[in-house]
Each structure stands twice: as C-alpha cells, then as structure tokens.
Chain A
Amino acid sequence: MKEPEDARKIKQVGYEKDMPALTSGHHIEDLPAEILEMYPDGISRRRFLSLLSASAALAMGASCSQIDRGTIVSYTKNPGEIKPGVAACYASTFQEGWTTQGVLVKTREGRPIHIEGNPDHPISKGTVSLRAMGDLLGLYDPDRLRAPKLNSDASTWEAAIAALTQAFEKARTGDKPFLLMTGAMVSPSQRSLIADLKQAVPGLWHVCWEPASPLSQFLDDPSIPKLHSEPAKIILSLQSDFLGSDGNAPSYIQGFASSRRISSPSDRMNRLWVFEGPMTLTGANADVRIRVRPSGIASLAYALIRLLNEVHGIALPYGMDANYLKPYMPAKTAETLGLELVNLELLARDLAEARQSVQVLAGPSLPAEASVASSLLKIMLEADGDQSGSHGSRLFVAEAVSNAELRNLIEEAAGGKFSGAIFWGVNPAYAFPEASLWKEAVGNIPDTFRIGPYEDETATDCDWRLPEHHWLEAWGDFLSTSRFVSLRQPTIGPLHSTRQGEDILLACMRDMDLQVPGSYREYIKTVWKSRIYPGNSPVRFDDYWNAALHNGGAESIREFSSFLQGSWQTAELRGVWSSLGSESKEDVPNAGNEAAADAIDGMELVLAPQAGVYDGRYANNGWLNELPDPVTRATWGNPLSLSIADAERLGVGNGDVVEVTNGETTIEAPVLIQPGQCPGVAALALGYGRRSGSVAAGIGVNAYPLLNNSPGSPLLAPGISMRRKNTRERRPLPLTQTHDRMEGRDLARSWTLNRYALESGKEKVHDPHHHASLIPERKYPEHKWSMAVDLSACVGCSACVIACQSENNIPVVGPEQVLKGRHMHWIRIDRYYEGDPHDPRVLHQPMFCQHCDDAPCEIVCPVNATTHSPDGLNQMAYNRCVGTRYCSNNCPFKVRRFNFFDYTSMKKEPENLVFNPEVTVRPRGVMEKCTLCIQRIQNAKQKAKVEDRSIKDGDIVPACAAACPAGAIVFGDLNDPDSRVAKLSKSNRAYHMLEELGIKPSVTYLADISHPAIIEELR
C-alpha cells in the first residue's frame, strides 16, 4: 500500500522534470489572493519567506492541483519504484459507445506508450480494438483544450464550477428542466452519480445518444459480443459487420477465428453466411456471401423461416401465424431478390442441422421490418417451440434515445424548454442530422456547457467549454457483463488543466451543499463498497479494491441486469411485427435498370462507423486517419462506395464527385467503385467531414445529415438519388493499394476445405531447401526468429497495423503523401479480389518484412546498413543508412519504407511523448522496415538471462501478434522444434512467399481455408 504511493510520487516528479510548463500548479497562482484574505494586515517579510518555502514544498509535493492522488496498481508486477528504462503495465478499461474492453496500458517513466488487451478481462479476453490502441495518440493531441473557456475567452475552473452550480440551482428552483446529454453510459458509478445529482436537481433530464451505435428493441445488445463464450458452427450475418465496424469486433474475431485455424481437413470449422448490400469486412470473410439490398432482407428472413418451418419442421415463434408467411414463397423471394433458391435451401439446412450452435447476427443498418424479421428468425431457432421464454439479449438503457426521439428533444429545446444543458461525451453539433434545428436549439438554451476534450463543433456552440481528462488520465468503472465491472485507472497525471467530467459534477454538488465524496475515485470506491464488494468477505475492502485495480475489474456480488441487460420477450415483439407485417411490402428487385443515366434514384445508402475514426470521435487522430480501410484501402476520408454496375450507369470512376441527396439534404462525395457491392446500394462511412480539429477539419464528408428522414432504421438512408457533379470535379482517393487482383500469382493462397483435403494428402513440394544453390546455407546456431501467419484466421481487421504504429514510432504522412505512395506502415494488409469482379472472393494477407535468409536487400546495400543477424533477423542500422533506396527496389515484397521527408523532428510536446523510447525515431533520408519488434526480443532475452533460464516459447510477442484478435500471427524460434511457430511452419497449409526467387523468406504463411456450402450435399 505504501510502496505504490511512493512510486506514484516519484513518477510524477520525474514527469515534471520533462514538462516544466505543465507544472505551474494553481497553488502558486492562487496563493496570493487566499493569503491576503488570511492576513488582512499585510504580510511581514518573515511571514512571506515562511509562506514561500511552504508553498514551494507544497508545489513540489502536490504538482498539479487536480491530480487525483489515488493509488494505482500495476498489472504485471508491483514495482517498488518506477525503474527507469523498465516498462510498467497497468490494467484499465477502454469504453466506446456501449462496448468496453479491458486493456493493459504500458507506461515508461510515467507516460503511456502502448496499449494491449487485458487477457484476464472476461469479455474482451485480451483482444483490444485498434481504436483503443490508436487513441493513445489522442492523449497527446496538441489540439486538446487545456483550460476552461467561457465562449472563446480563457477562464478558470472556479468560475466554471460556479457557473454550472448556478445553472443547477436555477433548474432546482425554476420550472424549466436542465438537459444532460451524454454518450453511452454503462458505468454503475456514473449512473449512481447522476442519480444523486437528479435528487438534488429534480428537473435534470438525462439522455444518452450514440449516433453510430443505436439501441433499439429489435437490435442485439451491442455491448456483448456473441461469439465470445461458445463458437458457433453456423453464423448467419444479415448485414451485420460484426467483424468490422462493430465495437466488439475484436472479440467477435477471436470467437470467429477460433474455429478457422484448422490443422487438418477433418477439423471442425464454422461457416459464415453473409447477406449484405455493401461490401463489409464481414462479407469479405464470408464462406457464402450473397448480395442483397437491405430492403430485401426482411422477406429473405421470412422465406427462411418458412423453409425452416415447412422443410425442417421447426416450430414457428410463439404467436406467429403461418398465414402471415404466405407471401414469402422461398422460390419467389429468391427470384425477386435475384438469388439462387438453392442457397436459401442450403442455408436452411445448415441452420436446422446446427440448431444448437447457430448465431444469427443482424446489423443496425437494416430497415425496421428486417430487424423484426431477423429477431423472429433468431427466436425461432432458439425457442424451438417454447411458448413463453425470453430469448436473446438486448440492452435496456432507459435514457438512450433514438435519432427520432432526439429530434423531438431538440425541437423542444428549440422551443425554449430547457434552462440549461450539458453536452458530455457526445458531439450533436456535428452528428445531429439537422444542423439548423440544432443551432436554433442551442441558441434557445440559456446556459450551455460542453464537457469534452476538444473545442469542437459542440463546444463552439456552447457558452462554457470545460476540458475533460483523456480516459488514460481518468478513473472509471464500467459494466462489461451483468456481473463483471471493469475498472479504469489513470496511467499518467493530467497533462493539462483538465478535469474528469464526473469531478466537475461532484464539485457542483459540493457547492450545492450535498454530502459527496471529495473525488470521483472516492465516489467509485463508495459505490463499490456498497454494491460490488461482498460485505461478508474476509478480505479487507482496501485489499479487495487494490486487487480489482490490479486485475482491471471484479465480479460483482449482485447482478446489474435490472438496469442494463435484458432479453427478447416474444410477446413484446408480437405486436410490432404484426403491425409491420400487415402491409406486406413489395421487394425491390436486385437488378436495376442497366441503362446509363444522369442520375440514379431509389438507392439505399448504408452508413456505418469507420474502422479508424469510428463515429467521428477519433477524427483528429492521425494514426486512425491513415489506417487504410480494411476493405477499400482508402485513407483520410470516406469515399462513397458504389457497385460496378451503378458506377457504369452514372459514368463515374474512382474519385469522381457525385451529389448524393435524400430529397432534403445533399452532400458531395468522391466515388469508390467497390467490387462485390450490390447494385442499388451505396455505402458511406460515418465519422468524417468534421469542422474542427487541426487534423480532422475538412477530411471527407459528413454523412449524418442524410439520416434526417430515415425513421426506423438508424443507419440506413433509403430513397437516395445521386448524380455526377456538373463541374466534373475529381478528388483523387488516397488509397494504399491501387491494384486489387493477384494476376494469377500464387500470393495469398486460398483453398476450399475440399481442396485442402486433396492438398494435404500430397507430398509437400514447397521445401525452401529444395532449391539447388551455390550459396552456402546460413547457420543459426542459437535461435532463428520467425513468424507464421495463418491466413485462415486473419480477417484483415488491421489491428496489427495500429499496434505496430504505436510500438515502432511509425510516422503519419498525410493524404498527399499517401496519394504519392509513401505511407510508412511496416505491416500492411494486402487485400485481393479474385473471380467475378461483381461478386469476388476477398483475400487478406498481412505483409511485412519476410526476413529472408538470403535477403536481396542485404546484398545491394552499398554501405552495409542492412545486414543479417545470427538469429535470423534482417536488420536495419538506421545510423548507417545513407538512403540509396536500392534495398527497396530489390525487395520483392516492397515492405521497406523510406523517410522521404523529416516526419518526426517537428513534433513538439506533448505530441512527442507518445514515442516508444525503446525504438529509434528515424531521421529523414533513411530506410526503415519491420524489425520483428527487436526491442521486445532483446527485453525477453535480458529477462531470461537475469532469471538464468533459456527463452521459452511465448516469451516474445511482437506488437502485431499481441494485437491480433484472431491469433493469426505467431512468433517464435524455428530452432526450437516444440515452438508453435516451428510446428506451424511444418503445417500442411504452410508456404513461403515467392519461394521460387531463392530468397528463402523465413516468414511462413498458412493457406486460407474457406468452407463454402456445396450444392451436392443438399441432394
């Protein structure tokens, strides 16, 4: 208990040394006024000197006034002190919308430098979203608001708290309510705090709004991934991008990939069926992907229900009348939607056969009737005739509002309903579809407060702008399941004069003379003590609390289901579907009019949060902006994805700007022709087109305004028409991959399960040592580090790219440089389309330095800057590199990256604090590439040496492998025959890239195995 306290002090002092500018604590500034009050007769010199020394001591000890000096406990080891040069990891929690993930924050000398998943977390199980890793950069964002502001003038916290307290007082006494608008709220303590505040201010209206992750009674619970507990045998996705844009994607990927990493053709393997309009990452990984417009999915689900009922004898969901299904004849539905009936039959067979192990996932971008239909399908498969049961799970949050409800609220606000408002964790000025209505509303609320990290769109519309801690500086607790509560602890002292949002409310409550704990940390502890800690436990609460901090959370003694999780009540749905179903809708046929046209009407626009910037909250993050979209490979913006057929009809190519309108709102976006997209469907990512932020402003287009008249389906805009812009404007797309086909080359190898059975029976011909060579073979006496990548497990999510960027100090180059082909990622995901471009098969292949035994880059470097290590690494000596770039020319994988400009030295505090001190920051004119995280290898070697043992398999985990939710990347020693990598390299799926060149790559790839449904099986 005592030791960590000291440790924290040392850490803070050490940090102050680095950043003197940030430690000009408020004590020093505030002291004179207070002292003058204390000594009305003036201060003698003696008194002054004593006060001076006292305040100096105080300043030294206390540093920033707002640091919450609670204990934080490291995860992997309890450091007696912070050891310079030794990283410490702390367990914490990342929250985004309704999802939470347990993370480990790696800190060096008191500053977070890398984020990995917490393997002990019961939901995320060591997986971590790429945005959690990427948001590390957000901590050090120089755009962060550094002190409170009143309008655009600097102000103080005291004034801000006083103003907010006054606004609360007004709401307490007056008759107008006070609006508190937040993002998703799944924290027991936050909710308790707001409940306390509500008691004091009865007129407080609390609403939660997540623009990109809506809650609805028909949608699955977005907070809990479905595949995490038991992997399903058959997964049916109805336009659900659970492997891509879903907040829980990493966890889904973990579950999905667990039965894709097969080692023999007879192993159990799941099958993924996907029905979708746009091409999503989930569709890209499907075993059977069927293109269908979102409006057709409802009838598709009903046709499936009918097949399951009639052919396979599964009882209809309780209360459903078979007559209702009459219009949905499978054959007719298939014909209207342009599908083959046999696919529906195969799917029905799969679903019926795997009853106990089926997962049906429906995405949020479906029309309401499709959501209902998919719910019924789910209930049917789960209930099996059960008349009363409640099925599935969904999230109830009383305060959550849909877009339509929010619109009503904003309208009321525009009518002058509220006396004041706090906007906390949401950015309605950007994400609310109707900008003018919002302006009117915010203008008609007398006192407006913005709690957030940036001076963003909402902040500039509000009077008070109160800067909030970054989550790495904050405390918190989050409900991850109905029982497990994750804890968040700060891993660095606040960089700026910011406060935790909850502390702001607590300060106001104190000013309103309420009895509340002194800090939010104390508050959390109170909540935990009363609600989570088992009172009869023999463990003292303090020890229990420390253990929970150490582990990243704890099981609660009681369930929190009362206010969060729930399940499908069949009866509840009944009314809804029967009312919807009474007006049987005509399906829109898939094949549209093929003739060329100036404008296309009746398009369905599917919106989804973008992989990197999500709903726009990370739009100021360079790493996440430069992350290539896992499907389109587009960076820095959101092009409008169109099918090949629609693009041909409009006569547009990549980059041509089109006008997209829903009748009321028009936006302009450049086109990206997306192979595999269903004609009649367009797709656009959310999160771009921000108006504030030095990085975010002006990148891409804001798609939210198109949602202004799409009730019922939160992320779908039907009835869209588009036309090519008259000016023939083009906006070149910064794609990191401009050629999509493998040209018949044996690169990303992909076999069907049947082909695998054939291939695995054959004698292996691809032996790297098969080639006759005059060059003597290299000897690796001790270790031979190597990597294996299982393409069957890899879904292409790109988490490895961000992990590598964070670990290896990889610079961001910007859209102009990406357009020129100069992005710097050491690991990239190659994505290929094979087969019919209208309906291709999509392959992913992570590509990074292959560490060839006979590396072509090494022989051509004139100055010996790239050499071979005795343990199998192809090394780069940055200091020695003069930058001839010959190595890059001679690298057949083109994985070497050149510093065409000086990308890093202009980084100023606090931006430069993000750099990993273990990895050299490369200067201009120098070549760089994947090192297999040599710093981690060295650390593990040193650790083993200190512990006087040899390195064990699994001691070394490179950043990409640690981040890979699929476990597709395995690192190890090929000289150790028992290592995982050695075993994988002997797999019957193993091969090496471009082996025929004789370069002997040491990285092994394992062929992708797909598991398509085969028509012959049906008969």
Chain B
Amino acid sequence: MKPEAVLEKLKPAPVITGHVRLGDLDDQLLTPVGEKPPLAWFIAFAMTSTATLIGMALIGYTIATGIGVWGNNIPVAWAFDIINFVFWVGIGHAGTLISAILLLFRARWRNGVSRFAEAMTIFAVICATLFPLIHVGRPWLAFWLGPYPNQRGIWPNFRSPLLWDVFAVNTYFLVSLLFWYIGLIPDIASMRDRAANKIRKFVYSALSLGWRGASRHWRHYEKAYLIIAGLATGLVLSVHSVVSFDFAVSLVPGWHMTIFPPYFVAGAIFAGFAMVVMAMVVVRRTMRLEHLITDYHLEVMNKVILACSCLMGYAYLLEGFTAWYSMNDYIHHTFLQYIFGTYWWAGWLTITCNILIPQLLWFKWFRTKYFGMIFVSLSVTVGMWFERFVIIVSSLHEDFLPSSWHIYMPTYVDYGILLGSFGLFFTLVLLFARVLPVIATTEMKMVLPGSQPHREGGSHE
C-alpha cells in the first residue's frame, strides 16, 4: 500500500458528510421546534400516549387493589416490576457512556448523537424509577427509604442493597439531568433568540439562564461540562454495579455471583446502544439529518454493540463455568434451569438474541444497512429484557427448598404496565424532539469542517 493510502486510511472518518454551514445547521436543528409537527408525529404520539395511559391506569389499579393483581408470588416475589426497572436503568446507560466517557476520550463522533442519547438516559431513568416506587406493597410509604431525620429516630438500613439503589439511581438521575441541561443551555439560548412567540421566548429565556455566549460563559461552561462528565463517568460504571448488587449481595442461587457488576454494566451499555441506534435511525430519517448522523455514526455504535455482545457471551459462559466449577448443587440446578427448566425458552431466547444474532454485525452490511441494524438492535432489546427475566424469575422460582418451588405467570396488568413504560418513554422522546434540538448545535459546530484549527491550515470562511 502506498504511504498516501495508508495515511488516508488512518485519517479519522468525517463525522459530517457534505458541506454544512453554521447557519444551515441552526436552521435545520432549531426550526422544527416552533413548527407544527407532521402527521406522522401525531400518529406516533397518539399511539405512545395511549400506551402510557393504559400503563398509568393499570398502575392506579395496582395501587388501589394490591400487588396481587400482578403475577408475583412466593417464591417469585419480584418479577416484571424489577425486570422492567433493571431494563430501563440499563437503557439509560448508553446515553451517559456516549456523553461522558466518550467526551473524555475525545471521540468526535459522539457530538452528533450525545444530545439524543442523553435525553434517552433521562427518560429511561424516569421509566426505571417508576418501578421501584410502584412495586412496593405500600407505595405511599416508599419515602421511608429516604434517609430523612425523623422523630422516631429510625434510619433506613444502610446494609440493604435496595437502599444503595435508591442513592445510586437518584444520583444518576440528578447528574444526568444536570449534564444534559448544562449541555442544552447554549442551544436554549439560540432558540430564545429565534423564538417569535412570546410565551416561548419567556420560557426559553428563563431556561437559558442568561446565556449570552460570552467567552467567560464558554469558559465556565466547558469546565462545568467536563467536571460533570467526570462525575457521570463514574456513574456509568457504578449505577449498574449497584443495581447488580441487589442480586449479587443476596444468597439466591443464580444471583450470588461475583461477576454480576461488570456483567450488568456491559449488559446495560449493550441494551442502551441498541435503543440509541433504533431511535437514531428514526430521527435521522424523519428529520432528514443523514448528513449529521452519518452512516459512520451508526456503524461505530454497531461496533460497540458487537463488542458488548461478545462481553455478554463471555459472562454467560462464565456463569456456566462457575456453576460447574463451584460444585454447588443449588447454583448448578439454577443454571440448568436457565436453559432446560420451566423457562428454557427464555434462556435460549436470551442467548439467541444477545449472543448469536449480534454476531451478524461482523458483516459490514448489517452494520450499515437500516434493516440489518434494526433487526439486531431489536433482538438485543428483546434479549436484554429476557435476560433479566431469566435472572430474576428463573432463579427465584426454584431456589433452595424444592417444597416451595412455584411457577410464575404474569397477568395482563404486568403486560399493560410494561407497555405503559414503553409508551411513557417514547412519549417523552417525541415531546423532546419537538421542543428541544435533538442534536447539540454547539457541539456540532465544533466538529464542522474547518471549525477547529488544524495543521492543514484552518480556514474561516
């Protein structure tokens, strides 16, 4: 190969295709916010909000009647409630990873997708926090999990992983929100400047916190953004580790595993990226942003999915190895349960969707074609939901004493609330797409051709 060709290969791929001017960028990203949405948006919104309402009605029914309307029982005291919780917390992780860790690693391709991914984080965490709240027997007393000073002098039990969860998820939500909001400030200011409507102008003015784009502002902004990114970086690893402690710290066979923290983090990123890819495909198609969210972006994310899939495969294998090597009857039985037991289909579905199907991403066609990546991402989403099903339900339904083994069957309320959580998530996504810019214009401007000085001689047009 000629040296020039090598150099060409080594050049980072462009994160924007075509020639984009600063003004065009603003026009394209900030205009939809004031306009009447297209019909497709309304159809989508009608569907997602209906799903949300169904979910909310069923949650109301649950709170009014009791957890008994779900399929949970003894021994399977946790089921869809905690599956959904872990699932949604996991979905959020891609956003944080993209915005925080990739920022620190200076991965330029993150700028195009970070805003959307962060928003998805927020919404996913909203969906996630819903479940611990409604899954308790007496939700109106759930505030007892908070460490607030009270007359009775009772503190929560700091040894309980559930309490760690409360802190982890709350911290995660707060930091993600702050990070997202700080990133939004310059964009909100731009929208304020473009707003024609009085109310809109007022709202955006208030939200932009007096941003004028002064260099002092920029300096503070950059610092704050970086600091919070640093904080969030730790959270990417810690939040799902803590969530995994709910299981790993217990003594339930199948839960009591040292591999759980890294395994859960990998799984979270895996599921999160799959969700981001699906959403991004839709956004770039419907909002005509193919030049900003390029094939390259999608391909990079698909590569992350592939890498995570391999990690997951390793984790699954290691679980089997542990079961075998530990010579522990209970763990042995549980692992066999996963693949040959009552819920064998869930076990095989998990393996197929999470390990086998993502291997298709070794082929470039799957990494770059909509059909290929959506197929894989969809299967990962399904697979990761069922992975939690396997971990929670399959492990619980047959534990130590065979006398108390009992099958678990979800009810329509369980399905309805799951549907509702998807409804809520996508409703929020749809609203977000209409009121805030889905791509961070300021960040995009940093990666526009010629925006940064470089050794070929930077140019300002």
In the complex, which residue of chain A has the Cβ closest to the Cβ of B159? A859
A861 contacts partner chain B, Cβ-Cβ < 8 Å: yes
B155 interface hit (Cβ, 8 Å): yes
A860 interface neighbour in B72, B161, B402, Cβ under 8 Å: B161
Are B403 and A737 neighbours in the complex by a CB distance under 8 Å? Answer: yes
Which among B251, B403, B407 is the interface contact of A890 at CB below 8 angstroms? B251
Q: Is B346 an interface residue (CB 8 A)?
A: no
**B68 engages A817 (CB within 8 Å):** yes
How far apart are B82's CB and chain A's nearest CB, in angstroms? Answer: 9
Q: Determine the distance from Cα of A896 to Cα of B401 in the docked complex, in whole angstroms.
A: 13
- B252 part of interface (Cβ distance < 8 Å): yes
Query: Which of chain B's residues have a CB closer than 8 A to the CB of A821?
Result: 73-76, 406-408
Distance, CA A828 to CA B401, complexed state (A): 12
Q: Is the Cβ of A926 less than 8 Å from the Cβ of B402?
A: no
CA distance A899 to B252 in the complex (A): 22
Which of A326-334, A584-592, A738-746 is the contact stretch? A738-746
Mask of B149-163 contacts with A, CB within 8 angstroms, 1/0: 000001111011111
User: Which residue, of B74, B138, B162, B396, has the highest number of chain A Cβ atoms within 10 A?
Assistant: B74
- The answer to whether A898 and B67 have CB atoms under 8 Å apart is yes
Verify B71–A820 contact, CB threshold 8 A: yes
Among B137, B163, B250, B400, point to the contact of A924 (Cβ < 8 A): B137
Question: Distance (Å) between the CB of B93 and the closest chain A CB?
Answer: 23
Which chain B residue lies CB-closest to A895? B404
Q: A817-B68, A862-B162 are in contact. Are A743 and B400 (CB under 8 A)?
A: no
Q: Once the chains are docked, how many angstroms separate the CA of A899 from the CA of B159?
A: 25
Q: How many Cβ-Cβ contacts under 8 Å join chain A to chain B? A: 164
With A737-B403, A747-B401, A893-B401: A926-B137 Cβ-Cβ less than 8 Å: yes
Q: Is B78 an interface residue (CB 8 A)?
A: yes
Please state if B145 and A882 are interface contacts (CB–CB under 8 Å): yes
Distance, CA A649 to CA B302, complexed state (A): 56
Which listed residue (A822, A830, A859, A896) contacts B160, Cβ 8 A?
A859
Could you say which residues of chain A place their CB within 8 Å of the CB of B251? 856, 890, 892, 997, 999
Contact B136 A883, beta carbon cutoff 8 Å: yes
**Distance of B276 from chain A, by nearest CB (Å):** 31
Residues of B within 8 A of A889 (CB): 75, 77-78, 250, 252, 396
Contacts of B135 in A (CB 8 A): 884
Smallest CB–CB gap between B263 and chain A, Å? 19
Nearest chain A residue, comparing its CB with the CB of B76? A821
A:205-239 near B, CB below 8 Å: none
Instruction: Please determine whether B401 and A925 come into contact, CB atoms closer than 8 angstroms.
Output: no
- A745-B329, A862-B160, A864-B154 known; A892-B400 Cβ under 8 A: yes
Q: Is the CB of A894 within 8 A of B74?
A: yes
Please determine whether B252 and A901 come into contact, CB atoms closer than 8 angstroms. Answer: no
Any B CB within 8 A of the CB of A944:
no
Instruction: Give Cα A741–Cα B162 distance, bound, in whole angstroms.
Output: 34
Q: How long is the Cα–Cα vector from A863 to B150 in the complex, in angstroms?
A: 13
- Asked whether, in the complex, the Cβ of A894 is within 8 Å of the Cβ of B404, the reply is yes
Asked if B66 is at the interface (CB within 8 A of a chain A CB), the reply is yes
> Residue-by-residue, is A156-192 near B (CB-CB < 8 Å gives 1, otherwise 0)?
0000000000000000000000000000000000000
Q: Which residue of B lies closest to A856 (CB)?
A: B251
B405 contacts A by Cβ under 8 Å: yes
User: How many Å from the CB of A299 to the closest CB on chain B?
Assistant: 39
Interface status of B42 (Cβ within 8 A of chain A): no
C-alpha gap A743/B144 in the complex (Å)? 41
Determine if A883 and B157 form an interchain contact, defined as CB atoms under 8 angstroms apart. no
- Known contacts A889-B77, A925-B66; decide if A860 and B160 are in contact (CB<8 Å): yes
Chain A nearest CB from B346 CB (Å) reads 18
A110 to chain B, nearest CB (A): 34
Task: Provide the bound-state CA to CA distance between A741 and B71, in Å.
Answer: 25
Shortest CB–CB separation between residue B212 and chain A, in angstroms? 46
Most buried by A among B156, B163, B402, B408: B402
A901 and B69 CA atoms in complex are apart in Å by 8
- Find chain B residues with CB under 8 A from A893 CB: 400-401, 404
| A831 contacts chain B at the CB level, 8 A cutoff | yes
Question: How far in angstroms is the closest Cβ of chain B from A813?
Answer: 9
Residue A723 is within 8 A (CB to CB) of chain B in the complex: no
B161 to chain A, nearest CB (A): 7
Judging by beta carbons under 8 Å apart, are A890 and B74 in contact?
A: no
Determine whether the beta carbon of B402 is less than 8 Å from that of A739: yes
Assess whether B118 is interfacial by the CB under 8 Å rule. no
Q: Is the interface of A mostly helix, strand, loop or mixed?
A: loop
In the complex, whether A847 has a CB less than 8 A from a CB of chain B is yes
A831-B403, A862-B157 known; A924 and B66 CB under 8 Å? yes
Q: When the two chains form their complex, are residues A901 and B68 in contact, meaning their CB atoms are under 8 A apart?
A: yes
- Which listed residue (B154, B162, B401) contacts A894, Cβ 8 A? B401
Chain A neighbourhood of B142, CB < 8 A: 882
Instruction: Give CA–CA (A881, B330) in the complex, Å.
Output: 29
Which residue in A820, A832, A890, A900 is a CB contact (below 8 Å) of B402?
A832
**Contact between B77 and A888, CB atoms less than 8 A apart:** yes
Contact residue among A820, A847, A885, A927 (Cβ-Cβ distance under 8 Å from B401): A847
Pick the most buried of B72, B251, B252, B333: most chain A CB atoms within 10 A of its CB. B251
B138 and A925 within 8 A (CB): yes
**A902 on interface, CB distance cutoff 8 Å:** yes
In the complex, what distance in Å separates the CA atom of A999 from the CA atom of B252?
Answer: 13
Q: How far is the CA of A889 from the CA of B202 in the complex (A)?
A: 51
Tell me the bound Cα distance from A830 to B159 in angstroms.
32
CA distance A892 to B166 in the complex (A): 25
Given contacts A832-B402, A862-B156, A894-B74, contact A926 B138 (CB under 8 A): yes
User: Is A557 interfacial (CB 8 A cutoff)?
Assistant: no
- Nearest B residue to A902, CB-CB: B66
Nearest chain A CB to B364 CB, angstrom units: 45
Residue contact A897 to B74, C-beta cutoff 8 Å: yes
B414 in the interface (beta carbon within 8 A): no
The B114-172 residues at the A interface (CB cut-off 8 A) are: 135-139, 141-142, 144-145, 154-157, 159-163, 166
Query: A880–B150 Cα gap in the complex (Å)?
Result: 13
A730 CB, min distance to chain B CBs, angstroms: 15
Tell me whether A900 and B401 are in contact (CB under 8 A): no
- CB B279 to nearest CB in A, in angstroms, measures 32
Flag if B157 contacts A900 (CB, 8 Å): no
B residues in contact with A738, CB < 8 Å: 405-407
A859, B157: Cβ atoms closer than 8 Å = yes
* Distance between Cα atoms of A742 and B398 in the complex (Å): 12
- Complex Cα gap A744–B251 (Å): 20
Q: How far is the CA of A120 from the CA of B200 in the complex (A)?
A: 88
- A743, B78: Cβ atoms under 8 Å? no
A923 contacts across to B, CB distance below 8 A: 138
The 8 A CB mask of B387-424 against A (1 = contact, 0 = none) is: 00000000010111111111111000000000000000
Q: How far is the CA of A332 from the CA of B251 in the complex (A)?
A: 57
Which A residues touch B408, using CB under 8 A?
Answer: 821
Q: Is there contact, CB below 8 Å, between A860 and B250?
A: yes
Q: Complex: how many Å from CA A899 to CA B72? A: 11
Least distance between B254 CB and chain A CB atoms (Å):
11
Asked if A896 and B74 sit within 8 Å, CB to CB, the answer is: yes
**Most chain B CB atoms below 10 A, which of A738, A847, A863, A880:** A863
A886 interface residue (CB < 8 Å to B):
yes
The reply on B249 being an interface residue by CB < 8 A is: yes
- The answer, yes or no, to whether B65 is at the interface (CB within 8 Å) is yes
A56 at the interface (CB under 8 A from B): no
B74 near A888 (CB under 8 angstroms)? yes
Among B71, B136, B137, B333, contact of A743 (Cβ-Cβ < 8 Å): B333
Q: A862-B145, A898-B74 are in contact. List 10 more A-B contacts (CB 8 A).
A: A738-B407, A821-B76, A863-B145, A864-B154, A880-B154, A884-B136, A900-B66, A900-B72, A925-B67, A994-B400
Write the residues of chain B forming the contact surface with A, with a CB cutoff of 8 angstroms: 65-68, 71-78, 135-139, 141-142, 144-145, 154-157, 159-163, 166, 246, 249-252, 329-330, 333, 396, 398-409
Q: List 7 A-B contacts (CB under 8 A).
A: A820-B71, A821-B76, A864-B155, A884-B162, A894-B75, A900-B72, A994-B400
Ranked 3 nearest A-B pairs via Cβ: A883-B137, A925-B137, A900-B68
Residues of chain A at the chain B interface (Cβ within 8 Å): 737-745, 747, 817, 820-822, 828, 830-832, 845, 847, 856, 859-864, 880-886, 888-890, 892-894, 896-902, 923-927, 994, 997, 999
